[in-house]
Amino acid sequence: MKFTRFLYSIVFVLSRCALAQSKHQPNALPVVDLGYALHQAIAYNEAGGYYNFSNIRYAAPPVGSLRWRAPVAPKVDRRQIQTGNRAVTCPAGPVWWASTANEFVPSYLQGIPYNPSTKPPPSDAELIQQLPSATEDCLFLDVFSPKQVFQNAGRTSGAPVLVWLHGGGFAVRSKTDGVNPSGLLKRAKENSHDSIVFVALNYRIGVFGFLGGPTRQRDGIANAGLYDQRFALRWIQKNIHLFGGDPDKVTVMGNSAGGGSIMHQITAYGGKEKAPFQNVIIQSPGFLPQASPQNQEDVFDQFLFVAKVRSLKEARALDSKALIAANALQIGRYAPYGLFIYGPTVDGVFAPATPGQLLASGRFDKSVKVMTGHNSLEGLIFTDPAIQNNTAFDAYLRRTFPRIPPASKEYISDVLYPPVFDGSKGYTDQAGRVSLLIAEMTFVCNTFFVHTGFGNDTFGYRFNVFPGVHAADLPYTFYQDAVPPQAVSNTTAAIALQSFETTFAQAGRPKWKGLADFPKYGSSAEIIDITQTSIFQTRDDAANQRCRWWQRGVLS
């Protein structure tokens, strides 16, 4: 299945965290009455002392006439108790360039020259491979509740809730990919007697979740994946008390596409609707701003061509296998190196403008408390090693932004990221130039937009533990004391990061016993730097003029 998921194993970044290593099945695992369904915990983790309620349906199957429409409530089905014992993931696209990245990135980090050889493209049969768990009927979530918290449901106000939105370029991955909350639950219990409730959810990705454009919107919605997330967050507001959680203490955390999703949730509807959460932890928020209706139409037309249909109506009539294949083939054939084609788009409704623009103009929910983080080398794994001269650099910009105004393209290539390789601009070669461009336009500047939008009344950190590439922090967020993953080279950094995350979720301010104070961002752009040898206060590298230019969104 090497083409069906994003390979965060790039540069030994992430080793899969297996779920619930120590499981015990009591005679009577608890059952929760959701009104529309009865759902039983699938397991009790004796070592961690928590229940796992797996694959709870939060929305009706988004199939047939419900494809590319807003999610709706599930039908009532109380005939039997659900256990969620079947793995469920949303259909994914391939990452055709992952094998090259797996070779190039380690070479670059070690200073070894890399010759990008021409590899034969993957066959269609390879591109359309899916996990056995892949299905359009994928709108499910998991709830992990400590036993004592669960038993206190209804007796107390409830424990804080931490909700996970997975990354994957809005095209791959799922709620369980690399996720084991046992370390976070343990860290939270060390902070507070009651720990936290952890929730992870699926949302539609690829063509199923992010097909946009004016033609598309005449018969449905754009950004269906964002609507899924919103629907799940409202489900949490309504139901999390049944698991011992407090709906008034919900923190949403996400990495990469998950972090980018949170930016869209904060700015949803231009701030006209209160967010169904109180705090956010935004890690490496990733998305490319797609404001151009014509860009969206181009992607829509391309999908119809690949699916061999003439309209959205005909696409809705296709069987699931054909649609899943069309999604994979479009991404596999046409996505530029490092990109995934699909992602949030400006639709005039959920996203009336880009998050950066909405944050700059004050159109967002200002009541939310914010912590953000980014990594020190975000762009490298998405950098095409074939870009070795200025001509190739300009061609990359045109591929990434097909309708970019010539003046904007020239400003990017001549002023923001000029071909100056003496180190004064932050790079010494073309790969470093492209890496910085990708890092800032896709991830790093997004954190700056959030800080300044919230009046600098925020918290921020930089994950600077080698290799510091995109997603290198994930094994640290999901670190388990008893089962340290190979990708965690510094357990102190892992415990500190988990402490920052859980204390913020519990009390709205990040803390760790090894740090006297975690400062607010403030006018001096102060963040915490998490390095291989120490954790200290520093100035945010995202507070620069390049990020201020990207916030203007003059790309189409």
Catalytically active residues, by annotation:
256, 378
Secondary structure of residue 159 in the 3-state scheme: strand
Length of the chain: 556
Note the Cα 161 to chain centre separation in Å: 18
Indicate the residue type of 414.
D
Contacts of 296 (CB under 8 A, 6+ apart): 212, 213, 214, 216, 222, 290, 345
Secondary structure of residue 339 in the 3-state scheme: coil
Q: Smallest Cα–Cα separation from 347: which of 123, 75, 70, 63?
A: 70
The answer to whether 360 touches 309, Cβ cutoff 8 Å, is: no
Residues 330 and 353: their CA atoms lie apart, in Å, by 26
Sign of the alpha-carbon torsion through 143, 148, 151, 157: negative
Residues 31 and 21: their CA atoms lie apart, in Å, by 22
The answer to whether 525 touches 540, Cβ cutoff 8 Å, is: yes
Contacts of 230 (CB under 8 A, 6+ apart): 265, 268, 276, 350
Strand 197-201 to 526-531 pairing? unpaired
Residues 32 and 38: their CA atoms lie apart, in Å, by 6
Contacts of 493 (CB under 8 A, 6+ apart): 465, 476, 530, 531, 532, 535
**CA-based end-to-end distance of the chain:** 36
Note the Cα 448 to chain centre separation in Å: 17
- The vertex-193 CA angle with 191 and 195, nearest 5°, equals 70
The answer to whether 175 touches 142, Cβ cutoff 8 Å, is: yes
Sign of the alpha-carbon torsion through 298, 304, 308, 310: negative
**Residue the block writes with tokens 């209706």:** 293
**Ordered DSSP codes for 273-304:** S--S-SEEEEES--------HHHHHHHHHHHH
**Ordered DSSP codes for 230-243:** HHHHHHHHHHGGGG
Residue 310 CB neighbour total at 10 angstroms: 10
**Ordered DSSP codes for 341-394:** S------SSS-SS-HHHHHHTT-S-TT-EEEEEEETBTTGGG--TT--SHHHHH
